Structure 1
């Protein structure tokens, strides 16, 4: 791995010029070039195992639960009865692991373009890939665009767990993608997409929100803390087909006992609300005008 120098992996990318996040490496567990991307899995001293795609950290064992829980439970709890869910991407299995926990969810469809990510996650990241074992889940290896074109009006919730907006993933941040998701939703549907961090490119976040607003009646931006992501924070684009739907307040509130039973380490009704309210004043003004 060219990114490993003197025992450290450094995430150097044009998306965040002039800065990088580094992890001290115990061992390189696997690396290959799949049909779609470079895949690396390393063991680190501080963050456990890490999945890296095209040189960008996708998840680490230490902090992955924050991202997986929030991208899953925010949209699920924004919906009154999320029986049928679609996951686009998420080849490590972490989002699937969380979505199937929700008691209202009866059926989960997942479409992931790169089957090698799924296979390698099952081998090296079993604590996330266990999501693939649920009887609720139906996994398709293929293109998410084509899958949604063939499944119109089927889903209560669509979650897009994508990589960052570079290369093939760029299309997942455009208006055409939000239009496709809208058609795949049932009435009163909710979507949630990885939305980047305002610390590195607030104009990109704003443009993604604008693309989404052209298709959805109610749109918001939520954040969560993930130390191994750029600037330690990641955002989500949350949207509803319903006009003036209240996304900041969960329709389903779980008790502490229920949260413990589902083994949720980060998400709660309190973190749900805070995810929408924790934006700096200048950022909120820029994104919402």
Structure 2
């Protein structure tokens, strides 16, 4: 049956624990449970917290909070979008909460934004409980498709300028989004000059997952980079992004465009200097992702699985 979100609330506190972040937990006080239930794919929990606002949890893992969601949504969207000279057609895989879609729509060149989400319940929960993230669903440029993302891309070859995969962790329904066939489908669905950006896990915890992911991407794309952002409610307060370009020699760390003054005024995390800085990694992570060196940031996800 899987995990039940309400079972993770004890004495008025929700605690996120998982094999992918062994020996640690993230706990948030629960002031009100807005929703708890199970879709055809996963457990959904929505609650409020006095510091972080409304919190969306899938299978026991925090996905967004209304206080810090912009740090993730802006970076996963604008890193690839501002690295492209003029994106017109954009595909978002996952991201059923609508936050990435909201950011995509800030680019005036975008004429069409397609969101492919496997779980319709996430979209409906966001519309009801997270309206600040879900506002983009009403934009006339948006098409929402409830389907498997890999299957959708197989039917849409050479169709998109930018593809953004906003996935949960590589367990449960999101596991397929971290496999080489998914990245191959993404490469085929991108047009010449296109870019892709995917959730790339935490460099403090998951270098053993990140390195083979980057290796798989480098076999498919001539240009691959790794960047990161800080999100307080994610494991270790940090999450990374794997960014791929279909063209060789693309400087992913240098934006091709800059936000207008009006758009920059609406952004709370992203800016051109932050874009460049996101690719500057601490040495332990740089050695691991750029040189293939040993992960010396601590215990890894593989260690946790081996302990089971």
TM-score range (shorter-chain normalised) is over 0.9
Q: How many correspondences in the alignment?
A: 286
TM-score with structure 2 setting the length = 0.91
Q: Are the equivalent residues in 2 in contact too, given 1:175–1:214 (CA < 8 A)?
A: no
The counterpart of 2:76, out of the listed 68, 71, 75, is 71
**1:16 maps to what in 2?**
21
Separation in 2 of the partners of 1:257 and 1:33? Answer: 40
Relative distance call for 1:42 and 1:15 in structure 2 (3 A) is same
Aligned to 1:44: 49
SS at match of 2:145: strand
Note the C-alpha offset of 1:255.
4.4
Q: Distance in 2 between the 1:286 and 1:141 partners?
A: 36
Q: Contact 2:211/2:289 (CA < 8 Å) preserved in 1?
A: yes
> Which residue pairs with 1:61 in the alignment?
66
Residue equivalent to 1:130: 135
Deviations 1:146-196 (A, max 9, x none): 111111100000000001111221211121111000000110110000000
Whole-angstrom distance in 2 between the partners of 1:39 and 1:88 = 19
Q: Does the aligned pair in 2 maintain the 1:91–1:114 contact within 8 Å?
A: yes
**CA displacement, residues 98-130 of structure 1 (integer Å, 9 cap, x when unaligned):** 101111111101110000110111000000011
Unaligned runs of 5+ in 1: none
Does the aligned pair in 2 maintain the 1:39–1:51 contact within 8 Å?
A: yes
What secondary structure sits across from 2:187 in the alignment? helix
Which of 199, 205, 208 is 1:200 aligned to? 205
Q: Please give the alpha-carbon distance, in whole angstroms, between the structure 2 residues aligned to 1:131 and 1:55.
A: 26
Stretches of structure 2 that go unaligned for 5 or more consecutive residues are 1-5, 292-308
User: How far did 1:258 drift?
Assistant: 3.6
Match status 1:102 vs 2:104: no
2:283 corresponding residue in structure 1: 281
**C-alpha contact (below 8 Å) 2:106/2:263 kept by paired residues:** no
**Aligned runs of 1:222-241 on 2, under 5 Å?**
222-241=227-246
**Deviant stretches of 4+, over 2 Å:** 254-258
Post-superposition offset of 1:257: 4.0
TM-score of the aligned structures, taking structure 1 as reference length: 0.97
